[in-house]
């Protein structure tokens, strides 16, 4: 591996970061967009690893991807540096608030995905 992770894919760098978090047994893990630039299979593997990682510790993830938000126990939505929504994903997405506007503006498909599941 080269300096700065040269020679590794984005998914490989993220897997190494998760492995380090597991080995360090850190009580608090902060991740910024861990699923950015990943394909669906790699994202699914990452989310599964995050589920295991969060047992017994606090994991804070900055995310814009719907799948990452759905996997969270709690979603906090910031707007202008202030918390404007907070709670379980299903409750936050059901509100007519910032999350719905943000994701709905990105794509009609995302807006449809935000509709409550039957």
How high is the pLDDT of residue 8? 83
Residues 6 or more apart whose Cβ sits within 8 Å of residue 89: 69, 70, 72, 75
Give the predicted TM-score (pTM) of the model.
0.66
How high is the pLDDT of residue 64? 77
Please state, in angstroms and rounded to a whole number, the distance separating the CA atoms of residues 67 and 80: 24
> Pairing state of beta strands 58-62 and 28-32?
parallel
How high is the pLDDT of residue 76? 93
Query: In order of start, what are the domains of the chain with their CATH numbers?
Result: 8-69 (3.40.50.300), 74-118 (no CATH)
Please state, in angstroms and rounded to a whole number, the distance separating the CA atoms of residues 5 and 94: 40
Scan for tokens 């996997």, then name that residue: 71
Nearest 5°: phi and psi at 26? -65, 135
- Other CB atoms within 10 A of residue 7 CB: 9
Could you state, in chain order, the average pLDDT of each consecutive group of 10 residues for the chain (118 residues)? 65 79 84 79 83 85 82 89 93 90 69 59
């Amino acid at each position: 591996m080269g300096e700065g992770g040269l020679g590794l894919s984005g998914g490989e760098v993220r897997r190494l970061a998760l492995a380090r978090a597991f080995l360090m047994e850190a009580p608090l893990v902060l991740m910024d967009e861990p699923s950015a630039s990943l394909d669906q299979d790699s994202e699914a593997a990452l989310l599964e690893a995050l589920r295991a990682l969060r047992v017994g510790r606090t994991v804070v993830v900055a995310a814009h991807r719907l799948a990452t938000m759905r996997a969270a126990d709690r979603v906090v939505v910031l707007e202008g540096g202030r918390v404007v929504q907070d709670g379980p994903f299903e409750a936050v997405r059901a509100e007519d608030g910032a999350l719905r506007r943000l994701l709905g503006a990105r794509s009609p498909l995302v807006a449809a995905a935000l509709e409550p599941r039957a």
